[in-house]
Amino acid sequence: MPNLTDRNALVTGGGTGLGFGCAVQLMRAGARVTLAGRRENVLQDAVARLRTVDPAAPVGYVVCDITDEAQVENAVRAAAHGGNLDVLVANAGSGAPGAILQMGAEAWDYCLRLNVTGTALCIKHAGLMMKQHGGGSIITISSTSGTKVQPWLAAYNASKAGLDMLMRCAAVELAQHNIRVNSVQPGYVPTEAFAPTVSPQLDATLTHAAPLGRSGTPEDIGRAVAFLASDGAAWITGQTLGVDGGLNIPVMPSMAAVAELVYGSETVREYGLPDLGLRDGRD
């Protein structure tokens, strides 16, 4: 378990889903965690749930829309508790489905303003605070969608790819201030907000596409974030860590039919290699 005792951490979009999973793991590692989000009632409920995990945990919240720079600056100050903001988890983000020939400027602006500009504002103000206090760790939450084309998700794909480049730019610019900047790329994680939109067929397809054969959990993402925030990752910056069950491995359709011609069907059945290229939920 990483040791983040007495470190101050801010998690944007921390009231639900991946953000909440990150908050749990940071808290378990000893950090003082502040959740940020737009809905106060959701944040209050999240803090109450965190305290069921550890009643003595120093957790709190601040209402913040990351596209509003003044609110971001206020959230960073609140999470620093008069000292440094040691850890920023820039998790808040969203997507707008649509085809390129269909979407108007509002849909593009929504994704880019939230996923790229909002995250850039969080990096800016966290970085200014960390610069004053000798350094820190920033982790952005990206997506495997930033590396692969998904029809009906062009704006989200483009914004997450942009987010990863933003992370690399920030890693170079902020390294002189002892600030590390990395990204976690989650694979398929059926969070409470996302799961209701996923059909059983799509769930099977996404699960089958990952070599480890299961969907992820917010805790999977949180454990990777806690590591990157810790001294165990002290010489890691500018990196993208896929936490996706292997989903981002480029996979072609199986060559089982060719192997049968060479070795026979009995050998092919014996080894039973998966055909991840089908991506349809079948074994």
Average pLDDT estimate for 119-136:
98
- Are 199 and 133 members of one domain? yes
Rg (CA), the chain: 20
Summarize the chain as % helix, strand, coil (round to 5).
Answer: 50, 15, 35
How large is the average pLDDT for residues 194-205? 84
In a domain, 1, yes or no: no
Which CATH number belongs to the domain containing residue 55 in this structure? 3.40.50.720
Please state, as a whole number, how many other Cβ atoms lie within 10 Å of the Cβ of residue 161: 18
Task: Identify the top-confidence range among 57-61, 197-201, 271-275.
Answer: 57-61
Q: What digits encode the pLDDT tens for the residues 212-267?
A: 999 999 999 999 999 999 999 999 999 999 999 999 998 888 889 999 999 999 99
pLDDT at 281: 42
Residue 65, SS3 per DSSP = coil
**Residues 30, 101: one domain?**
yes
Type of residue found at 31: A
206 and 276 belong to one structural domain: no
State the burial class of residue 63 (Cβ atoms within 10 Å of its Cβ: 0-12, 13-18, 19+): middle
Structural domain total, the chain: 2
| 110 classed as catalytic | no
Handedness of CA 257, 258, 264, 269 (dihedral sign): negative
Residues 180 and 147 in one domain: yes
Tell me the percentage of the chain whose pLDDT exceeds 90: 81
Does an H or E element contain 117, and which?
none
**What whole-number distance in Å separates Cα of residue 132 and Cα of residue 179?**
11
Let me know: does 144 contact 187? Beta carbons within 8 Å: yes
How confident is the model over 184-197, as a mean pLDDT? 87
Average pLDDT, the chain: 93
Tens of pLDDT, residues 19-76? 999 999 999 999 999 999 999 999 999 999 999 988 988 999 999 999 999 999 999 9
- Alpha-helical regions (H) of the chain: 17-28, 40-53, 69-80, 105-112, 118-132, 154-174, 200-209, 218-229, 256-263, 265-271
* pLDDT value at 98 more than 60: yes
pLDDT at residue 16 is higher than 80: yes
Query: What is the span of the domain harbouring residue 89?
Result: 8-249
Question: Measured between alpha carbons, how far is 26 from 29 in angstroms, rounded to an integer?
Answer: 5
Same domain, 102 and 124: yes
List 110, 156, 263, 271, catalytic entry: 156
Whether 15 has a pLDDT exceeding 90, the answer reads: yes
Q: What residues are paired with 59 via a beta bridge?
A: 33
Is residue 3 included in any domain, yes or no?
A: no
Average pLDDT over residues 104-119: 96
